[in-house]
Amino acid sequence: MEKSENTGRKGIPLLGEDFPEMKVQTTHGVIELPKAFAGKWFVLFSHPADFTPVCTTEFVAFQKRYDKFKSLNCELIGLSVDQVFSHMKWIEWIKEKLGVEIKFPIIADTGEVAEKLGLIHPGKGTNTVRAVFVVDDKGKIRIILYYPQELGRNMDEILRVVEAMQISDRNGVAMPANWPNNELIKDHVIIPPAKDLETARNRLEKARTGEFECFDWWFCHRKL
């Protein structure tokens, strides 16, 4: 496995690192990543193989939410270790048989991208697993998810995490479990915990004035 250009560390890229630069063949032609999506977020997701049932349901689900991703300044790009001709015939089949036109590009990987990103897990066979890389508008990897071949992904969850991370970045806040439907604080966001006594006291004072709501000095939240 090659070394990361940023850290010298061996292995696949980790959260907070730059998405590795690569030139890939796709159904939309040759694309340079992450350069092609400069200034945008993007979701790169791998699937085990073309012309398979679960993958077909996933591509239809992603396409039906493509406009929602784009409204978040976020692009989609798929990947599997299949030839570009296979991708092209598969998306033609999806359009003809299911009435859905796949409008985002799909990478035809020779195995090089799968190796760089850790998409093949020997314990799960020789095909790429269902990986998801969420990359921000500065080219930094923010979220990595892995699913086995037998489990299709929840695209609404992927939409949720993109939106939640963007809100977190813009407002300097953290996002609770199941946001925006958290069991304790509903659609509120979490104020980062105080790191000194003065800030802790100020938090409680702000809670008294209604600027924040607090369970305690270390657990304060507010509505956006």
Domain containing residue 180: CATH number: 3.30.1020.10
pLDDT tens profile 46-87: 999 999 999 999 999 999 999 999 999 999 999 998 899 999
Question: 121 and 219 share a domain?
Answer: no
Tokens standing for 129? Answer: 């697993």
**Structurally, how many domains does the chain consist of?**
2
Among 155, 188, 212, the domain boundary falls at 155
Indicate which residue of 55, 74, 214, 220 is catalytic: 55
The CA distance from 224 to 120, in Å, is 40
223 vs 121: CA distance, rounded Å: 41
Decide if pLDDT at 137 tops 60.
Answer: yes
Same domain? For 73 and 151 the reply is yes
Instruction: Check whether residue 131 and residue 176 sit in a common domain.
Output: no
209: left (phi over 0), alpha (psi -120 to 50) or beta: alpha
Do 148 and 216 lie in a common domain?
no
Q: What is the span of the domain harbouring residue 179?
A: 172-224
**Are 111 and 205 part of one and the same domain?**
no
pLDDT: is 25 or 216 the higher one? 25
In a domain, 57, yes or no: yes
Could you tell me if 124 and 209 lie in one domain?
Answer: no
pLDDT in the model for residue 110: 85
Cβ neighbours for 30, distance < 8 A, ≥ 6 positions apart: 23, 24
Query: What integer pLDDT is reported at residue 1 of this predicted model?
Result: 42
pLDDT at position 41:
98
Looking at the structure, tell me whether residues 207 and 97 fall in a common domain: no
* Distance from C-alpha of 174 to C-alpha of 167, rounded to nearest angstrom: 9
* Predicted structure pTM score: 0.90
CATH assignment of the domain containing 85: 3.40.30.10
Q: 56-67 burial string, b = 16+ CB within 10 Å, else e?
A: bebbbbbbebbe
55 classed as catalytic: yes
Tokens 């980062």 — which residue? 192
- Say if strands 130-135 and 141-147 run parallel, antiparallel, or are unpaired: antiparallel
- Looking at 155, 181, 206, the residue that finishes a domain is 155
Same domain membership, residue 100 and residue 144: yes
Lowest mean pLDDT among 130-139, 190-199, 202-211: 202-211
**Is the pLDDT confidence value at 7 over 60?**
no
Distance of alpha carbon 91 from alpha carbon 198, whole angstroms: 59
Tell me the average pLDDT of the chain: 91
Please report the pLDDT score of residue 6 as a whole number. Answer: 53
Sheet holding 74-80, edge to edge: 29-33, 22-26, 106-108, 74-80, 41-46, 130-135, 141-147
Domain boundary among 155, 182, 207: 155
